[in-house]
Amino acid sequence: MIKRRSRNIIKEIINKNKEENLKLYEGTIFEKDKISPSYINMQNPKYIEIDNLYYAGIIIVDYYREQTDIILKNIIESNINVNISIFYEKQDSYRVIKELTYHIGNVGLEVKSNNENRQDIDIATSIYGDAKYIRKEMQVNNEEMYYVYIYLLVYAENIKELEYLLNKIEGISQSKGLQTRRANFREEETFKACLPLMENHKLIKNVAKRNILTSSLVATYPFVSSSIFDNEGIFIGTNIYNNSIVFIDRYDTEKYKNANICIFGTSGAGKSFYTKLLILRYRLMGIKQYIIDPEREYVSLSEKLKGTRIIIGPNSNTYINILEIRKESIEDGENGYLATKIGKLIGFFHLIFGELNEEDKALIEEKLIETYNEKKINFDDKSLYKKENKKNIFKNKKDMPILEDLYNILRKDKRTEKFSIKLIPFVKGSMKFFNNYTNIELKNELIIADIYELGEENLKYGMYLFTDIFWDKIKENRKEKKAIYLDEIWRLIGVTSNKNVASFIYKIFKTIRKYGGSSVAITQDISDLFSLEEGIYGKSILNNSSIKTFFALEEENIKVLSEYANLSEKEKIEIKSLKRGECLMFVGEDHILTKIECSDDEYEIIKGEKKDA
């Protein structure tokens, strides 16, 4: 009696505690409540309505016998709202071989004994051949057999759009040899199959089931979407096909062999805007950038980003001495200041004097050595230093020779007098601004070289001058990320240039990686880019750029480009039909059609106007 009463008391206490605990949970939101829809409507057999979205399923029921491509590629790369679910079920090899052997025996006997219906014999013969092939692959090549089930779930905001997308999916599927069936009256099962629940209901399994060997599984590989997302990258735009975002970190040395970029496109295609967008975004990251601007396109950007703009021309008060040897022209621990400088100057004088033979080059080098000797500079690197306040310091700008010093030495020798005549415009004539001591400091992280005033014929001199000085800046510190942008690069590596200059530019693209740098080649003149020495320098720069960006091009330029770049026939058509702001990008091994995207603020900084203006 006492024991029974004790039990009753204990039960009352437990029940009371349960009631109190339940009260504690009243009004509490659980995780399942957060993800649960507000309503589900399954009244219609053709679709499910969930929270103002309409869902309809498609079941892949058959494929072509021979598949040489990834069967879902076109669907995945489309911009259709679709979820894809694939189930694989591995079968017992021993059991499959046993059943195949039994089946082969029966069908073989049927083929031999039945000759009345020709159509039946053909079907039986085909099945007989398939069974023998599968058994052979499993026994000889150690293939495994799987059952594969593929379901597609399409969704849209209204029924009309849903029907349109379903028809589009069915059209794409048929073009790839896929036979489809809509999941009418089985929408719930198909919807669940496309959720991360691993639920493949028997009601749809029997419709979708298809046997497949291990080697054929690759045809169902789903991860084929051309999307690039580098963790430390900057936003470039979106994939035109599937709207996936594109983030590229060109300085990722583990993923890309270098950080170089080629940007090609006809006038008005969007290459200049894209280049400015890169400059803007890398400026925010604190990366040092040096831009050669022959068309005066970056003035506004320089002002808004507080960059330094250097103007070289008849009306400018800024000067750069082409003969100046800078301390950063070679790295610490290396030797050969004068030898390095003379090598670069020979290239520059090729632009002024025209093509030089070996004798001419030897004479010019002799006179250059004499010019530097007059300033007490020789091949001993110690000659570049002087004592000041009991310290050895690098000689300053006024301790260097200028073009007039070389001009005077060339005049004294009849063998080199012809060269001095060609130097007259640079010493006493319209381009005497080249004959001066350097009076600028390159301290800013963004420096734009404005050479627009030089005029069409003389742009190449300014481009070479700044390429030389920027290359020295690139080599200053290997640990710092930096970039040099060469707009209208064809002037330095095209037919208007020469082998020495083109070799110097190629060297920059080939070696800049080890200095933590990136070279960016920009041009709209594709044919001129590949015009020197049968295009070997243009091709070398193209091959030494891990990222290639092709905006819309004319058909003639596409033909030239296809000789040097690995363009498929489809890609040639795509480049020709690209809209403004769209491009085909080669990023490492990936080829991706991209739409360049920017924010309203970025657009206003670059264009100087509102985006919707």
pLDDT at site 176 = 84
Mean pLDDT of 369-384: 95
DSSP one-letter code for 424: H
Pairing of strands 288-293, 482-487: parallel
Count of other CB atoms within 10 angstroms of residue 449: 26
Weakest mean pLDDT among 71-85, 116-130, 246-260, 475-489: 116-130
DSSP H or E stretch at residue 595 = strand 590-596
Give per-residue burial for 157-187: e unless 16+ CB within 10 Å, then b: eeeeebbebbebbbebbeebebebbbbeebb
Count of other CB atoms within 10 angstroms of residue 238: 18
Count of other CB atoms within 10 angstroms of residue 567: 20
pLDDT at site 81 = 87
Pairing of strands 582-587, 288-293: unpaired
Give per-residue burial for 499-527: e unless 16+ CB within 10 Å, then b: bbbbbbbbebbbbbbebbbbbbbbbbbbb
Of 102, 135, 140, 121, which Cα lies nearest the Cα of 211? 135
More confident residue, 272 or 133: 272
Please say whether the beta carbons of 402 and 436 come within 8 A: yes
Please say whether the beta carbons of 362 and 411 come within 8 A: no
Mean pLDDT of 133-143: 86
Weakest mean pLDDT among 37-51, 183-197, 221-235, 350-364: 221-235
pLDDT at site 498 = 83
pLDDT at site 248 = 95
DSSP H or E stretch at residue 394 = strand 391-394
Q: Please state, in angstroms and rounded to a whole number, the distance separating the CA atoms of residues 290 and 482.
A: 8
Q: Please state, in angstroms and rounded to a whole number, the distance separating the CA atoms of residues 14 and 445.
A: 73
Residues β-bridged to residue 62: 179
Take residue 263 and report the two structure tokens written for it: 């940007």
CATH number of the 254-316+441-613 domain:
3.40.50.300
Distance of CA 265 to the CA centre of its chain: 15
Please say whether the beta carbons of 279 and 291 come within 8 A: yes
Give per-residue burial for 592-604: e unless 16+ CB within 10 Å, then b: bbbbbebeeebbe
Q: What is the CA radius of gyration of the chain?
A: 36
pLDDT averaged over the chain? 89
The model scores a pTM over 0.85: no
DSSP H or E stretch at residue 166 = helix 159-175
Q: Please state, in angstroms and rounded to a whole number, the distance separating the CA atoms of residues 217 and 98.
A: 23
pLDDT at site 68 = 62
Which whole-number Å values give the CA distances from 63 to 84, 117, 219, 346, 443, in the listed order? 16, 27, 11, 66, 64
Residues β-bridged to residue 448: 291, 309
pLDDT at site 123 = 67
Torsion of CA 527, 531, 537, 538, to 10 degrees: 0
Write the secondary structure of 522-591 as one string of H (helix), E (strand) and C (coil). EECCHHHHCCHHHHHHHHHHHHCCCEEEECCCCHHHHHHHHHHCCCCHHHHHHHHHCCCCEEEEEECCEE
Please say whether the beta carbons of 308 and 444 come within 8 A: yes
Write the secondary structure of 450-467 as one string of H (helix), E (strand) and C (coil). ECHHHCHHHHHHHHHHHH
Q: How many Cα atoms occupy the beta-carbon half-sphere of 381 within 13 Å?
A: 14
Percent with pLDDT over 90 in the chain: 64
Task: Locate all alpha helices (DSSP H) within 354-458, ordered by sequence.
Answer: 358-374, 403-412, 417-427
Of 28, 85, 75, 83, which Cα lies nearest the Cα of 50? 83
**Residues, the chain, total?**
613
Mean pLDDT of 247-258: 94
**CATH fold for domain 319-439:** Helicase, Ruva Protein; domain 3 (1.10.8)
pLDDT at site 113 = 64
The residue behind tokens 């349960």 is 18
Mean pLDDT of 464-469: 93
What is the per-residue pLDDT across 525-584, written as a single tens digit (0 to 9) for each? 899 999 998 899 999 999 999 999 999 999 999 999 999 988 888 899 999 999 999 999
Q: In which region does residue 154 sit, left (phi positive, over 0), alpha (psi from -120 to 50) or beta (all else)? A: beta
| pLDDT above 70: residue 613 | no
pLDDT at site 403 = 96
Write the secondary structure of 92-122 as one string of H (helix), E (strand) and C (coil). CHHHHHHHHHHHHHHHHHHHHHCCCCHHHHH
**Confidence band for 112, pLDDT divided at 50, 70 and 90:** low
Please say whether the beta carbons of 63 and 178 come within 8 A: yes
DSSP one-letter code for 215: G
Q: Please state, in angstroms and rounded to a whole number, the distance separating the CA atoms of residues 184 and 526.
A: 55
Q: Please state, in angstroms and rounded to a whole number, the distance separating the CA atoms of residues 55 and 41.
A: 10
Take residue 33 and report the two structure tokens written for it: 């409540």
pLDDT at site 153 = 96
pLDDT at site 570 = 84
Sorted by sequence, the CB contacts under 8 Å of residue 605 that are 6+ apart come out as 280, 301, 304, 305
Greatest Cα-to-Cα distance within the chain, rounded to the nearest angstrom? 136
